[in-house]
Structure 1
Amino acid sequence: MMQLKKMIYAWISKNFMGGCSNYNDLVVRKSCRSKEQARDVFAAANFPHAQGLIFLNPFKAIKFAKEVGFPLVIKPNVSGFSRGSYFPIENHKELWRAILLAKLWWPYTVVEQYLQGNNYRVVVANGQIMSVLQRYAPFVTGDGQASISELIDRENSIREEMNLYPCISPLQKGQQTLTFLAKKAYNLATVPQLNEQVLLFYRISLAPGGVVEVIDKETIPEVNQRLFKDVLKRFDANILGIDVIMEKGITTDYQQQKCIFLEVNSRPYLKMHAFPRYGQAEDLSIYFKQLEELNIQQKDTY
């Protein structure tokens, strides 16, 4: 079993970790590989995190749903870039489907309470807040005249002019988008109202066309900054990409709102920080210089 896991991890690294940083030693990277490991650390440190559990038997997730109710999130215990994640799950039919699909990625699966809020990637390096991004699922904003198809073309042209490709992906018009729009009785010919924001897919990820916005680190309260730095210390890491959802936003004290940590990334995808759709890309060279000077044990061992 251990040898099989090593083979799977090596395959994931080769095929899905392109563009990801590598500034933590093997011990730290091993401690961050699964959602379960992160949840255990969050719980021990009393960091805010979603109520949930890791399961192999699907009926444990069904029982959890009956106890805590919907909406829920289903995601593989080991994955990246939101692959295999499904949310918000509103009923048992959606739950069963999400469980089966998530298990195609990894046999052990996470079920958690779902929080609607602002989604952030906070990168902490060497005890400092390196960069903060707000992440958005793919969407278009209506002008009362153009169809969704036309809005997609318009947005993709803007992304091309901004030279965001290939880091940021274009919005899609395929079956995935059509199926998602149909849930709201929309299609590509639908003309959204002025300023109406139309989601094209639920997943907050770059692959289906999601985008990021740079958040000014100076606007983040000290209490929130200390919390993120404490997470880094708990994992004894040089750098972490911390995924967190905050109901009111990162500029509000986390103690004054609903807030949940989702996971930590020991090899955060730093490339996207140079390709924001909104906001100005930061000069992070000083942080990279500090990280490059570190003596990292077993850097090339996965």
Structure 2
Amino acid sequence: MVDFYTFMTTKRIEFLRVTHLRGPNIWTYRPVIEVWVDIGDLEDYPSNTLVGFYERLTTMLPGLAVHRCGVGEPGGFLERLREGTWAGHILEHVVLELQNMAGMRTGFGKTRQTSQRGVYKMAFRTRQEQVGRAALEAGRELVHAAIHNTPFDVTQAVAQLRDLADKYCLGPSTAHIVEAATERGIPHIRLTAGNLVQLGYGNKQRRIWTAETDQTSAIAEEIASDKDLTKSLLKSCGVPVPQGELVETTEQAWAAAQDIGLPVVIKPHDGNHGRGVSLDLNNRQDMDAAFALAKRKGGGSIIVEQYIPGNEHRLLVVGQRVVAAARGETAWVTGDGQSNIIELVDRQLNTDPRRGITEDAPLNVLAPHEGAEIILELQRQGLTAYSVPAMGQQVLIQRNGNVAFDITDEVHPSVAAMATLAARAVGLDIAGVDMVLEDATRPLSAQRAAVIEVNASPGLLAHLKPASGHARPIGQAIVAHLFGPMQNGRMDIVGITGQVNTTPIARLLSWMLYTQGQKVGLACKDGFYLGERCVDPHDYTSWERGQNLLINRSIDVAVFEHNPQTILSEGLAYDKCRVGVVTDVSGFETLSEFYIDSLDKLYNVERTQVDVVLAHGTAVLNAADPQVVEMASLCDGDVIFYGLDPELPALAAHRASGQRVVFSEQGGLVLAQGDTRVTQIDLNGHWVDLPGSAEWVLAAVAAAWALGMSAELMGAGLRTFEQTIQKHR
């Protein structure tokens, strides 16, 4: 064993390159951060040679005990650590664990040696780039501290990462919906730094903004924000609502209360989340104080309405049904004759682990000396936050604001029907309907009940993390509302990868699709095309520019050209494709900066195109390139081989097994499946004067066949495309 840190305290892990691969890549089909790590002299010191390193690292990060690593079961990484592993691999697991501790769960990571001594490529999954990069830096410092036996504040580091995650990651409600979409195979794109998210691609896409969708009417939102108008519409549709009036002064409020009858409720006309709401008001003094509170919280007109006894309930309506329901409960404390109300609340209520100040907490922390609603409630009882209640005295702290107790399975059908009617009356596809009910399990006809509000963009956390009861699959319900049972939000995508003829293949294929009448988008080296129109003549093979196709709502099908450099530096622009074309595995010499120094390593780059072919999709592969042929076994879908010579071994064997092939014969193109010649496209002398055209025409035709295009339309597309090229030569 070597007492390493006593003579090498200045040695550090260095990062040579840090890249966010935002799409499918050589590591995985999800975004990762790839790091080129130089561990320097640490190459000579695996973990089992560093005195005390194992103990220090596992003390700082006890969660490493569940990391599986190579053995495939919990404890696998610790076993590797004891036996001896290197700093790059250790850093990978430390970064993953720091992200997990910060609440950004992830588990994928890999570390591989390069041909240069001490230099490793390390990749780790991250759900957000800034958080991942910060975890990488923190992880390096933690590993250094464990090696050199120097201090490192894990708690502070995790807190900083958690703050970054809260700042940059999707909110919990939006993330829940996105996860539900992912479970259904629906891709997503985050359109802003906030919670605006696209589900699906092209003309199959839908959009969400937390609990709003692209079906949420702006008119309905305006109606929901006007409580008086909402109440009028609900009443006209037969929805029970409390009698009420809109007022501007305390005198008007008292007069309205006399007309309505005490007790009453006072609340802001434009308030939400229960702010400024006072219940069960029985005298002028309490009403004046409640009026002032509502003015501070809302600033506009005030509503005075009939008080309906019962508990507040929130029913979440998605589409035409109630998918979740929660009940509110009042909050009380019991005096002990010694403690003031602040102390009683802290001891009897705020110690509840369900209470907190973050969005994750289903119940809020209560502050009797700061919360205006609580201060007013105490005043009505002749108390302040600093009063000391007598032994056994019950003190009401909060009447509303605790609507977080799940009762979804208990709601009576008539109650649910009334909630959905209220949402339809306002015009919302997703609505939080607030009802006062004596008992949600009983029919409406058997109790006093009323709808008091209909909310647009309702909060979802009370149903995702209730204070009691079961969490509800809100995300699944919203995704099902946006997409039919057989829909996955995917338009047809074709990806073309290689170093030879990829641009002409992409141009020809998109042209054939265009002449078929489809709305086609093309991102290739020649530019960005919509149909026959070149929108931008610059190179569009990058990830960011490729996103332009995916977010375009007018496109039926998108064609992407890729090269190995893009896959290595950015990843593919999409997660999956219907057709993946690979032309060749050649030219690794141009990729030396990526440590790609052999055809085998280039093969691992270009296979990414085949890895992302959908199960109902097709890989189109060049039968003349042996390493491209090897990729056939990696495809989850079908395979079409293409080649000039029908006797190519791979093509002939594929055809013999009953599969599809495309080849050249007597001046034409043959599409065959097994022994059957499905069709032949006669070129009639076309294309003969375009150098090297034969092979890439085969690839484009094979891709068109994979998309279901008929031979007649392929022939028409070939002829008109050649004429277009000849015209501009």
Sort the TM-score into its range (normalised by shorter chain).
0.7 to 0.9
Name the CA shift for 1:179/1:106 in 2 (closer, same or farther; >3 Å). closer
Q: How do 1:284-299 and structure 2 match up within 5 A?
A: 284-291=474-481, 293=483
1:178–1:188 Cα contact (<8 Å) kept: no
Alpha-carbon deviation of 1:72?
1.0
Higher relative contact order (CA 8 A, sep 6+): 1
Query: How many pairs align?
Result: 266
Alpha-carbon deviation of 1:75?
1.1
2:60 aligned partner: none
Name the CA shift for 1:259/1:170 in 2 (closer, same or farther; >3 Å). same
Alpha-carbon deviation of 1:89?
1.6
1:109 aligned partner: 302
Name the CA shift for 1:39/1:211 in 2 (closer, same or farther; >3 Å). closer
2:246–2:302 Cα contact (<8 Å) kept: yes
For structure 2, the 5+ residue unaligned runs are 1-194, 196-208, 490-729
Alpha-carbon deviation of 1:288?
3.1
Of 322, 332, 338, the residue aligned with 1:139 is: 332
Name the CA shift for 1:164/1:96 in 2 (closer, same or farther; >3 Å). closer
1:29 paired to 2:221: yes
1:87 paired to 2:282: no
Amino acid at match of 1:239: I
Q: How do 1:189-228 and structure 2 match up within 5 A?
A: 189-190=388-389, 193=392, 198-202=395-399, 204-205=400-401, 210=402, 212-217=404-409, 219-228=410-419
More helix by share: 2
Alpha-carbon deviation of 1:201?
3.0
1:155-202: per-residue Cα shift (whole Å, max 9, x none)?
A: 32332xx58551332122425556644654666643664xx8642134
Percent identity over paired residues: 20
Across the aligned residues of Structure 1 and Structure 2, the Cα RMSD in angstroms comes to: 3.1
1:158 aligned partner: 352
Name the CA shift for 1:139/1:277 in 2 (closer, same or farther; >3 Å). farther
Name the CA shift for 1:58/1:91 in 2 (closer, same or farther; >3 Å). same
* TM-score, structure 2 as length reference: 0.34
1:121–1:241 Cα contact (<8 Å) kept: yes
Name the CA shift for 1:107/1:213 in 2 (closer, same or farther; >3 Å). same
1:202-226: per-residue Cα shift (whole Å, max 9, x none)?
A: 4x12xxxx35200033x22222222
2:246–2:303 Cα contact (<8 Å) kept: yes
Name the CA shift for 1:26/1:116 in 2 (closer, same or farther; >3 Å). same
Separation (CA, whole Å) in 2 of partners of 1:106 and 1:272:
27
Counterpart of 2:317 in 1: which secondary structure?
Answer: strand
1:54–1:108 Cα contact (<8 Å) kept: yes
2:318 aligned partner: 125
1:280 aligned partner: 470
Alpha-carbon deviation of 1:238?
0.8
Of 430, 451, 457, the residue aligned with 1:239 is: 430
Name the CA shift for 1:211/1:237 in 2 (closer, same or farther; >3 Å). closer
Separation (CA, whole Å) in 2 of partners of 1:113 and 1:284:
32
2:257–2:305 Cα contact (<8 Å) kept: no
Alpha-carbon deviation of 1:88?
2.1
Name the CA shift for 1:130/1:180 in 2 (closer, same or farther; >3 Å). same
Alpha-carbon deviation of 1:116?
2.1
* TM-score, structure 1 as length reference: 0.76
Separation (CA, whole Å) in 2 of partners of 1:68 and 1:254:
22
Separation (CA, whole Å) in 1 of partners of 2:391 and 2:465:
28
Counterpart of 1:261 in 2: which secondary structure?
Answer: strand
Larger Rg: 2
Amino acid at match of 1:26: A
Of 367, 375, 378, the residue aligned with 1:172 is: 367
Name the CA shift for 1:146/1:115 in 2 (closer, same or farther; >3 Å). farther
2:245 aligned partner: 53
Alpha-carbon deviation of 1:58?
4.2
Amino acid at match of 1:200: I
For structure 1, the 5+ residue unaligned runs are 1-16, 296-302
Name the CA shift for 1:98/1:20 in 2 (closer, same or farther; >3 Å). farther
1:99 aligned partner: 291
Separation (CA, whole Å) in 1 of partners of 2:264 and 2:279:
6
Amino acid at match of 1:271: L
1:54–1:111 Cα contact (<8 Å) kept: yes
Alpha-carbon deviation of 1:269?
1.0
Name the CA shift for 1:226/1:179 in 2 (closer, same or farther; >3 Å). closer
